[in-house]
Structure 1
Amino acid sequence: KLEEFRSHERGHREVFRAELERRGRARCKSYWLCGFGGLVLGLLTGLLGRSGISATTVAVESVVLRHLERQLVELQGVDEPAVSAISSILAEERGHHDQAASHVSENSRLRRVLERLVSAATESVIWLGMKL
């Protein structure tokens, strides 16, 4: 499943790269932070096993879904190619969230702790990426 998710994420990265190219824009200056943060997060939560990986995935995907859905609202009727690009990604992101959620208890202490920490970090990286 993780290989499938990885393949999806690579495809999403390509969609966003094409969108940046279409607009004549460089990727955000926080791109390296996303990569480094993802590596560290993956290594640390990997040590926690399947529940840790799943809880982290739920937290990250929840933030990403909210962000993409807000972007859709803002871009609707303004930039249809961007709306199409984002829409093409949403179903897979929801699938990642739902698949991970099926492997961790809603009331798990680990899930609650990771959700707070990982959500805050993910929100911060997205905010930074939108500002740089």
Structure 2
Amino acid sequence: MTQHSADLGDRIIKVNHAGEHGAICIYTGQITMARLTARKMVHELTKFRRHEQRHRAIFGGELQRRGQRRCRSYWFCGIGGFALGAITGVLGANAIAATTMAVEGVVLRHLEHQLAILGSSDPAAVAAISAIVAEERQHHDDSASHLDAAAFWPKILTPIVSGSTEAVIWLGMRL
């Protein structure tokens, strides 16, 4: 493995770890508010949060193995994630589904890109990323099945949440 591929793998793992922390916080905010606005979604959101906790542990273990500290954006992702989750949770089931679908859509694109650019240059990073892709896709697809695309919130939230998620990933890669 070259130094460049090791540095890239380290950076990707750091950002993914911070992103998983953000996802846990999004789901925590959504669960908190969904108890009032979308009770039927609480069980599924709790399951998704457990998946994200496992994903964070995978990336955390890989950071530890590499002797790396977590990303500087870790707490920013957590605070922003909780705020996003709480706000969209207050708005109800359609907003929750639209938010999850938008976040996971961006995440899936980034994971697929990461796998392509890392290729065989960083097998440990590829293994960590590959371990979470199926569950991230499940979150996206399950949320899409709940979504009323003709409703108000998906039209407003999808571009805002997608753009914000892209911005947080971009920032994390540069911190």
Structure 1 ranges of 4+ moved more than 6 A: none
> What is the RMSD computed on CA atoms of the aligned residues?
1.0
- Report which of the two structures shows the higher radius of gyration computed on alpha carbons: 2
User: Are 1:40 and 2:67 an aligned pair?
Assistant: no
Q: Which position in structure 1 is the counterpart of 2:66?
A: 23
Q: For 1:106 and 1:96, how far apart are their aligned partners in 2?
A: 17
Q: Which position in structure 1 is the counterpart of 2:153?
A: 110
State the number of aligned residues.
132
The question of whether the paired residues in 1 share the 8 Å contact of 2:94 and 2:151 is answered with: no
Counterpart residue type for residue 134 of structure 2:
A
User: Are 1:82 and 2:82 an aligned pair?
Assistant: no
What is the TM-score when the length of structure 1 is the normalising length? Answer: 0.96
The question of whether the paired residues in 1 share the 8 Å contact of 2:118 and 2:126 is answered with: yes
Question: Displacement of 1:108 after TM fit?
Answer: 3.4
Counterpart residue type for residue 118 of structure 1:
V
The question of whether the paired residues in 1 share the 8 Å contact of 2:98 and 2:143 is answered with: yes
Greater relative contact order (Cα 8 A, min sep 6): structure 1 or 2?
A: 1
* Secondary structure class of the residue paired with 1:47: helix
User: Are 1:97 and 2:137 an aligned pair?
Assistant: no
Unaligned 5+ segments in structure 2 are 1-43
Q: For 1:26 and 1:35, how far apart are their aligned partners in 2?
A: 16
Deviation string for 1:75-118 (max 9, x for gaps)? 11101111111011000000000000001123433212111111
Among 99, 107, 126, the residue aligned to 1:56? 99
What is the TM-score when the length of structure 2 is the normalising length? Answer: 0.73
Q: Which position in structure 2 is the counterpart of 1:125?
A: 168
User: Are 1:14 and 2:62 an aligned pair?
Assistant: no
Q: For 1:115 and 1:85, how far apart are their aligned partners in 2?
A: 28
Question: Displacement of 1:25 after TM fit?
Answer: 1.1
Greater displacement, 104-113 / 47-56: 104-113
Q: For 2:119 and 2:102, how far apart are their aligned partners in 1?
A: 26
